[in-house]
Amino acid sequence: MTIKSDHRALYLQVIDRMKQDIAAGVYKEKEKLPSEFELSKTLGVSRATLREALRLLEEDNIIVRRHGVGTFVNSKPLFSSGIEQLTSVSDMIRQAGMEPGAIYLSTSEGLSSEEDIKRFHCTGDDTIITIERVRTANSDPVVYCIDKVPSAYLPTDFLKRTESSIFKAIEESGDIHISYAVTFIDPTGYHEDASPILECEPETALLVLKQLHYDEDDRLVLYSKNYFRADKFSFHVVRKRM
């Protein structure tokens, strides 16, 4: 069935039609799409129009093109969350009906780097605890996390603990309460450290969330850098008209 002309540009109609076919199961997740020649013939559009539609579908992470192999339908994200509230990864996983877990890769303590000194407004004599871990959903790796906290903000026995929520540990003394976070989101392709840890295929995109967590006195107490599999997670934000 070919695209029927309306007032919109043809490539926009192709995008809508492709999304409808994917939603209806005509093209299934992880399934290879027909060739450009076959698709353009089926839809009744030029290959140039089709390519523009496929380019935009790829930007939206709906399809993925593998050089020399073909174009495939991406899996729908399993986890979706707004970023207006500080929702934990574990809560997102539970809301999707899956069991959250964590694999601790390393926990270390070292003197502040120049970057740490600028970030936390500490001195070169202060120490920083760095925690590397992988968050899992039903035992599958989905997020690679790197967290940095000044040692002074954590219990003295933190390094000896086998498992501990970083938020809870920071707030354990009652002197610190994490009030808000400033988040930066950057899309990225293959990452030499994160992608293998998350068992990603080379074409799988990642979403990098850099979060600076502040207490009620606007003091930075936790810096997090999290690599999310873009085929598993999506994030949105509600914007209100002022």
Q: For residue 227, give the nearest of 181, 190, 179, 172 by alpha carbon.
A: 190
Residue limits of CATH 3.40.1410.10 in the chain: 79-236
Q: Rounded distance, CA 193 to CA 14, Å?
A: 37
3 state SS of 208: strand
pTM over 0.85: no
So what's the architecture of 10-73 in CATH?
A: Orthogonal Bundle (1.10)
pLDDT by residue for the chain (242 residues), tens digit each? 455 556 778 889 999 999 999 888 898 887 899 999 999 999 999 999 999 999 999 888 788 888 778 898 887 766 666 565 666 778 878 887 889 899 999 999 999 999 999 999 999 999 999 999 999 989 999 999 999 999 999 999 998 877 778 888 999 988 899 999 999 999 888 899 999 999 988 878 899 999 999 999 999 999 999 999 888 887 767 776 77
Residue limits of CATH 1.10.10.10 in the chain: 10-73
Q: Rounded distance, CA 77 to CA 124, Å?
A: 42
* The dihedral sign for the CA sequence 108, 112, 118, 121: positive
Protein fold of 79-236: Chorismate lyase (3.40.1410)
